[in-house]
Amino acid sequence: MAVKDVMDALRDIHIDNSKLSDLVKDIKLIGRVLEIVYRLPKKGMEEDIADRTRRALESLPDIEDVRVRFVEDVPSQPVMGQPMFTRRRVPGVKHLIAVGSGKGGVGKSTVSANLALSLSKLGYSVGLLDADMYGPSIPTLMGVKGERVHVDENNKIVPIEKYGIKLLSIGFLLPSEDTPVIWRGPMLMKALTQFLFDVNWGDLDYLVLDLPPGTGDVQLTLAQNVHIGGAVVVTTPQDVALADVKKAVAMFKEVQIPVLGVIENMAYFICPDSGKKYYIFGKGKVVEFASAYGLKILGSIPIDPELAQASDEGVPITESAPDSEVAKAFMGVAKVIVDITQRR
Ligand code: ADP
């Protein structure tokens, strides 16, 4: 019996608008006794939840007894030892979508830029915020390296516009691209919140947030201060990337940001001569990972050397070759995200 079997069985049960699996805080198997700890969405629901849990799990092999415990549900309590926080909405922004990854180099910034462009091509007003404070790459990817932002008469930062998208990056504020950013703690927090709230974004349907890789201060600061509509997680099908992406998913869940799904980048290579697909990093690994965690795969992006070249030249492939397979794959992801976010 694996944790996945328990979660699968609980996923189909809905209580008070939540899947039972989403309420699970901990699962333990002590001998043949399975103990499940839930956060309790509402007082008085204990018995119903316990009954339905037992019925769902009694058929699992090797289980003699199912014990159910509850901890109080306090969503706005301090997270990870931080002070109390309130999450503010970014004025004028309908959907704030964070793009994260477990580790660097999986194509998170490339995906953020092409996703933003695809959403814009679908007719939405879009912004792209490079929250990768330590390694901003959006200025290069979008061909606006070296540009500087200014403030308007209301003291708001005016984003740079390129390909119809409003862009902001720490790269637009640093004296040179070699300047290291060494902010930590309160200074970083101030800079980040300024990047969201002291900006003249205008009215945006989507603001795509390119997070730094991993699960550090930036993610936590944002989660505590900003209302984020949903997160998407980018991974490649390599085992090393998948090992870390689990941590990223766990972090979003911990800070209660809904994970909209996973984007599989560098999923396969299409041979230009034969048109045949080659699964260079292995096939099916991301599907397996996503199904174990109950996550949706939002799309699979092929490896395309032209994509890397286009990015280096500052013209994202969605712009330079909109009919390419890879651009179509990004468009597919954008449509799925629109579908999910518009239904909410
Ligand atoms: P991250 O933001 O995760 O660190 P980047 O977006 O900077 O990753 O991408 C890392 C490198 O991989 C870049 O050189 C980029 O052009 C390249 N790359 C990303 N996705 C693809 C892809 N699907 N096909 C080919 N090259 C890619």
Evaluate if residue 181 carries a pLDDT over 80.
no
Evaluate if residue 297 carries a pLDDT over 70.
yes
Distance separating alpha carbons of residues 234 and 245, to the nearest angstrom: 8
Q: Are 136 and 274 in the same domain? A: yes
Contact 224, 252 (CB under 8 A): no
Evaluate if residue 65 carries a pLDDT over 70.
yes
pLDDT score at 307: 94
Q: Is residue 250 in a domain?
A: yes
Q: Among the atoms of ligand 1, which is closest to the Cα of residue 137?
A: 7
Report which protein residue has its CA nearest ligand 1's atom 27. Answer: 308
Q: Is residue 77 in a domain?
A: no
Q: Are 152 and 39 in the same domain? A: no
pLDDT score at 177: 63
Contact 25, 34 (CB under 8 A): no
Q: Model-level pTM?
A: 0.77
Evaluate if residue 118 carries a pLDDT over 50.
yes
Q: Are 59 and 110 in the same domain? A: no
Query: Looking at the 3D structure of the chain, how many domains does it have?
Result: 2
Q: Which of 218, 278, 300, 311 to mutate to test the pocket of ligand 1 (most atoms within 8 A of CB)?
A: 311
Q: How far is the CA of 113 from the centre of ligand 1 (A)?
A: 11
Q: Is residue 85 in a domain?
A: no
Evaluate if residue 282 carries a pLDDT over 90.
no
Its domain, for residue 27, covers: 3-72
Contact 96, 207 (CB under 8 A): yes
Q: Is residue 315 in a domain?
A: yes
- Taking residues 213-237, what's their average pLDDT? 89
Evaluate if residue 131 carries a pLDDT over 60.
yes
Q: Is residue 78 in a domain?
A: no
- Taking residues 238-267, what's their average pLDDT? 89
Distance separating alpha carbons of residues 194 and 129, to the nearest angstrom: 12
pLDDT tens digits for range 254-266: 888 999 999 999 9
Distance separating alpha carbons of residues 149 and 330, to the nearest angstrom: 28
Q: Is residue 299 in a domain?
A: yes
Q: Is 197 exposed, middle or buried (0-12, 13-18, 19+ CB in 10 A)?
A: middle
Distance separating alpha carbons of residues 340 and 119, to the nearest angstrom: 13
pLDDT score at 83: 41
Percent of the chain at pLDDT > 90 equals 51
pLDDT score at 49: 93
Q: Are 256 and 338 in the same domain? A: yes
- The tokens describing 241, both together, are 């990337």
Q: Is residue 284 in a domain?
A: yes
Confidence band of 305 (pLDDT split at 50, 70, 90): very high
Confidence band of 60 (pLDDT split at 50, 70, 90): confident
Evaluate if residue 105 carries a pLDDT over 50.
yes
Mean pLDDT of the chain: 87
pLDDT tens digits for range 145-157: 989 888 999 999 9
Report which protein residue has its CA nearest ligand 1's atom 23. Answer: 303
Q: Are 136 and 220 in the same domain? A: yes
**Is the Cβ atom of 300 under 6 angstroms away from ligand 1?**
no
- Taking residues 202-217, what's their average pLDDT? 92
- Domain containing 60 — which CATH number? 3.30.300.130
